[in-house]
Amino acid sequence: MAIFRPFKAYRPKTELAKKVASKPYDVLNSEEARKESEGNPYSFLRIGKPEIDLDKSVSLYDSSVYAKGRENLIKLISDGVLVEDEGAYFYLYALTMEGRTQFGLVGCCSVDDYWNDVIKKHEHTRKQKEEDRCEHVRVTNAHTGPIFLTYKDDHEINNIIDMVRLSDPITDFIADDEIRQQVWVIKDEETIEVLINKFAVIENLYVADGHHRSAAAGIVGRERQNANSNHTGEEEYNFFLSVLFQSSELYIMDYNRLVKDLNNYDYNVFTRLVKEHFTVIPSGGSVKPLQKGEFGMYLGEGKWYILLANEELLYNNDPVESLDVAILQKYILDEILDIKDPRTDNRIDFVGGIRGVDELVKRVDSGEMAAAFVLYPTSINELMNIADSGNVMPPKSTWFEPKLKDGLFIHFLD
């Protein structure tokens, strides 16, 4: 059963919250982060991606990068930009995008729950990215970006959320990406106790987004446990910063593919090979799949096609093999294009649906890429079924929007 508990957060002063809050570290490259934080000394990108304050020649994984992150974090605290709350609280965090709002409860989850699979995962992590986040946590001594978790709907928890929403939020602003950010502090001891007890009978939590962050929290937490001869299990390093959303509230977008070449096939031969497992229908314009088993394919010069997977590919009892991303990977990317491992093959790139099909068209028409594939989004039920089965999804299967901001809550490990 899940452990979820309150904590004493460091949070930005209300009037500075908009300046502090930043996109997650992993949705921007260093140059994009430099540009986005330009002229804003409070931007939390200076903690999440501290290389932006160092010379461009410095390696992303140099020790000076992590030291700079800690220095910047401590400065925000010493300058009074980030202030510690008086007590250990839960928080309600709402994000509104295009008129749609989702509400998450902010608190700390258990490192032990991460390792004993109460918190279920659906992706493999990459060692370099995992170690990067581990070192960031070790040096800053903090969880500076929340891990995005989900749980199966519970009407009693939802009633508590509805009650908290009746009061005025302590933080309320519209970020530069036009997503509204709201925060309520849950101080009432009775409400806190009810939430603790409600999650204590929830069987599983699921990592929706943030597998590398959760792995880092688990690894560093276990390191601290092993290093402390007086370990009790109540130390802050045993818990990590999380935001928990009901599964029905989540919005998953398509996560699309670009390939650099057609494996030496011309368009006619390639299309003929695709027809072995798909019905191929020319389209007069861009394609946005409307159902599972439907794909869009763009080959440049305005050539759009609808691909419909043959029925036998869809009616597969294997929860992974029946995913649209798995069907595309097996029958086109692997079988035809010889892209065996999308994690390591430099002939493939991934583009989140938030960028739209225009980004795909631009990169194909420029000659950088040879083809683009648009997918129907993976569902939250597919994600949870795969996690429950002990399997993992193909890489880049889900793109969640809106993204949680970094910098609105900070959890220190001691």
Domain boundaries, the chain: 4-251+401-412, 255-376
Report the SS3 class of residue 372.
Answer: strand
State residue 238's pLDDT score.
Answer: 98
- Answer whether residue 377 shows pLDDT above 90: yes
Q: Give the tens place of pLDDT for each residue, 150-172.
A: 999 999 999 999 999 999 999 99
The CA angle 242-210-404, to the nearest 5 degrees, is 65
The answer to whether 96 and 251 are in contact (CB under 8 A) is no
Judging by DSSP bridges, how do beta strands 371-374 and 252-253 pair with one another?
unpaired
Peptide bond preceding 402 in cis form (omega within 30 of 0): yes
Report the SS3 class of residue 100.
Answer: strand
Which residues are paired to 372 by β-bridges? 258, 298
In angstroms, rounded to a whole number, what is the distance separating the alpha carbons of residues 45 and 53?
A: 10
Q: Give the tens place of pLDDT for each residue, 123-138.
A: 888 889 999 999 999 9
- Answer whether residue 225 shows pLDDT above 90: yes
State residue 20's pLDDT score.
Answer: 98
How confident is the model over 222-235, as a mean pLDDT?
A: 97
CA-closest candidate to residue 108, choices 86, 91, 131:
91
Q: Give the tens place of pLDDT for each residue, 11-34.
A: 999 999 999 999 999 889 999 999
Provide the token pair at 398.
């889900």
Q: What is the DSSP string of 346-368?
A: TTEEEEEGGGHHHHHHHHHHTTS
What's the CATH code, domain 255-376? 3.30.1760
State residue 27's pLDDT score.
Answer: 87
State residue 254's pLDDT score.
Answer: 93
- Answer whether residue 317 shows pLDDT above 90: no
**pLDDT class for 383, splitting at 50, 70, 90?**
very high
Lowest-pLDDT range of 145-149, 191-195, 199-203, 316-320: 316-320
- Answer whether residue 343 shows pLDDT above 90: no
In angstroms, rounded to a whole number, what is the distance separating the alpha carbons of residues 127 and 210?
A: 14
- Answer whether residue 251 shows pLDDT above 90: yes
In angstroms, rounded to a whole number, what is the distance separating the alpha carbons of residues 34 and 30?
A: 6
Amino acid identity for residue 81 in this structure? V
